[in-house]
Chain A
Amino acid sequence: MKVFIILSLLLLSACGAKRSSFKIGETTRADVIAEKGEPLSEEKIPEVKDGSMMKFKNNESIQLKGDLVSNRFTNPTGDEKLVMWWKHKFKSCPFMKTTTLPQDPKAHTQPEVEMACPEQGLSVIYTQGSDTISRVVEYEKK
Chain B
Amino acid sequence: MKKNNLIILVALMSVGCSRSNDFPTLLSQLEKSAPDEKIAERKVATLAADLCLKDVFSVSILKSEIKELEKKYASGTKVKGKWKHLNLEDLPIPQANFLNTHGKRLGDLNDADAIDYSACKDLPCIFNKIYGKEDYVAGYVHYLWFLKMGNYLTAHNTVYGGSYRDIKPGIYNEKVFKVSDYLWSENELYAFWRLSHMIKAPHTELNYLTEIQRVPRGEYFGFMSSMTCGLAWSHGIVSLQDGCLATGTDAHPGTFYESVLHELTHQVDYHQGKKLKKSYRSDEPDYLTVSNFFLKEYKDDAGKTVRQWEHKPGIKLATSYAGTSPAENFAETIAHFRVEGSTTKNNISSEHWNFTSKNYFFDKQFQNSDLVKGWMVNHASLISQLAFRAVGNCSKSSQGFASTYFKKTDFITPLLPAMINCLGAKATEISKEVQAKVKVSDPDGCRVLSGYSPSSDWESGFKTEVNGLMNKYLQELQTDKTYFAKVQAFYDEIPNRSMANTAFLSCADIASEETCYQTEVLRLATQKIAPLNLPSTHAQDLAELYLTSHSIADTREYLNGYYKAFVLSHKSQIDLEAKDLWAKCESIPLSDDLPPSGKFFSVGDGYMASSLFNCLNADFPDGAKSIVRNLAVGDLKVQHPKEEAILHEEVLPELQKSLLEIYKQKRAKENKAALEYIQNDQGTLRKKMLADFVWVKDVLNVENLNKDCQALALVKIDFPLTYQLRAPVFGAFVESACRDIHLAPEYNSWLDESKSVFAEKSISGLEKRIVELATTKAKACLGQYPIDTNLNRIRFKKEREACLLGEWAPIEASAITEFSADPLVVKFKVDVTAVKSQLETNRRRLQLRVIKENF
Contact = CB atoms under 8 A, between A and B. Distances in A.
Contacts of B42: none
A71 B278 CA distance: 22
Interface in A94-117: 94-96, 101, 103-110, 112-114
Contact of B298 (A53, A84, A128): A53
B163 A108 contact: no
Contacts of B788: 28, 30-31, 67
A79 to B, nearest CB: 5
A109 B233 CA distance: 7
Contacts of B598: 79, 82
Interface string A1-36: 000000001001101100000000110101100000
Given A79-B597, A84-B602, A105 B298 contact: no
Interface stretch (B407-415, B425-433, B603-611, B814-822): B603-611
Chain A binding surface SS class: mixed
Contact of A88 (B277, B280, B592): B592
A110 B162 contact: yes
Interface residues of B, number: 65
A129 B233 contact: yes
Contacts of B162: 110, 128-129
B841 interface: no
Interface stretch (B104-112, B222-230, B755-763, B803-811): B222-230
Interface string B763-806: 00000000000000001001000111111001000000000000
A15 B790 CA distance: 9
B333 to A, nearest CB: 15
Interface string A42-59: 000101110101000000
A129 B305 contact: no
Contacts of A128: 162-163, 234, 605
Interface stretch (B195-203, B323-331, B356-364, B458-466): B323-331
B667 to A, nearest CB: 13
Contact of B283 (A61, A95, A134): A134
Nearest to B221: A108
Contacts of B603: 84, 131
A16 B233 CA distance: 50
Nearest to B325: A107
A129 B707 contact: no
A113 to B, nearest CB: 8
Interface in B303-340: 303, 305-309, 321, 324-325, 327-328
B595 interface: yes
Interface residues on A, range: 35 or more
A126 B325 contact: no
A108 B224 contact: yes
A87 B301 contact: no
Contact of B279 (A79, A88, A127): A127
A80 B727 CA distance: 21
Contact of B595 (A30, A45, A85, A130): A85
Nearest to B704: A94
B725 interface: yes
A131 B790 contact: no
A42 B366 CA distance: 42
A105 B711 CA distance: 37
B225 A105 contact: yes
Contact of B297 (A13, A28, A103, A135): A135
Contact of A108 (B231, B596, B604): B231
B790 A26 contact: no
Given A84-B608, A129-B233, A131-B602, A13 B163 contact: no
B790 A16 contact: yes
Contacts of B790: 12-13, 15-16
Interface string B215-246: 00000000011011011111100000000000
A8 to B, nearest CB: 11
B495 interface: no
B301 A139 contact: no
Contact of A84 (B163, B228, B596): B596
A30 B280 CA distance: 35
Interface centre among B224, B297, B301 (most CB of A within 10 A): B297
Contacts of A106: 225, 227, 321, 324, 328
Contacts of B610: 88
Given A84-B613, A128-B163, A134-B279, A109 B297 contact: no
A130 B234 contact: yes
A63 B299 contact: yes
A105 B299 CA distance: 20
B300 interface: yes
Interface centre among A9, A109, A137 (most CB of B within 10 A): A109
B273 interface: yes
B604 A130 contact: yes
B702 to A, nearest CB: 16
A104 B323 CA distance: 11
B274 interface: yes
Contact of A16 (B300, B608, B789): B789
Contact of B602 (A82, A89, A112, A137): A82
B266 interface: yes
Given A26-B787, A126-B605, A104 B309 contact: yes
A53 B296 CA distance: 10
Contacts of A104: 308-309, 324-325
A94 B305 contact: no
A135 B297 CA distance: 10
A125 B607 contact: no
Contact of A132 (B274, B328, B592, B607): B274
Nearest to B708: A94
Interface in A71-92: 71, 73, 79, 81-85, 87-89, 91
B140 to A, nearest CB: 31
Interface in B476-516: none
Contact of B605 (A12, A70, A95, A131): A131
B605 A83 contact: yes
A130 B605 contact: yes
A123 B305 contact: yes
Interface centre among B273, B303, B327 (most CB of A within 10 A): B303
A105 B595 CA distance: 36
A114 B306 CA distance: 10
B234 A110 contact: yes
Contacts of B595: 79, 85, 88-89
Nearest to B320: A106
A49 B300 CA distance: 9
A85 to B, nearest CB: 5
A123 to B, nearest CB: 7
Contacts of A125: 305, 307
Contacts of B794: 12
B727 A132 contact: no
A26 B266 CA distance: 42
Contacts of A129: 162, 233-235, 604-605
B768 to A, nearest CB: 14
* 9 pairs of A and B residues whose beta carbons are closest in the complex: A127-B279, A131-B602, A129-B234, A16-B790, A130-B279, A129-B235, A28-B788, A79-B597, A84-B596
29 contacts: A25-B779, A26-B787, A31-B788, A48-B298, A48-B301, A63-B298, A71-B298, A71-B299, A84-B603, A85-B597, A91-B726, A104-B308, A107-B328, A109-B232, A125-B307, A126-B279, A126-B605, A128-B163, A129-B233, A129-B605, A130-B270, A130-B279, A131-B603, A132-B278, A134-B279, A137-B299, A137-B305, A139-B299, A139-B303
Given A12-B790, A91-B727, 17 more contacts: A30-B788, A47-B306, A49-B301, A61-B297, A70-B299, A79-B595, A82-B598, A88-B592, A107-B327, A108-B228, A109-B232, A130-B273, A131-B605, A134-B279, A135-B297, A137-B305, A139-B303
Interface of A: 9, 12-13, 15-16, 25-26, 28, 30-31, 45, 47-49, 51, 53, 61, 63, 67, 70-71, 73, 79, 81-85, 87-89, 91, 94-96, 101, 103-110, 112-114, 123, 125-132, 134-135, 137, 139
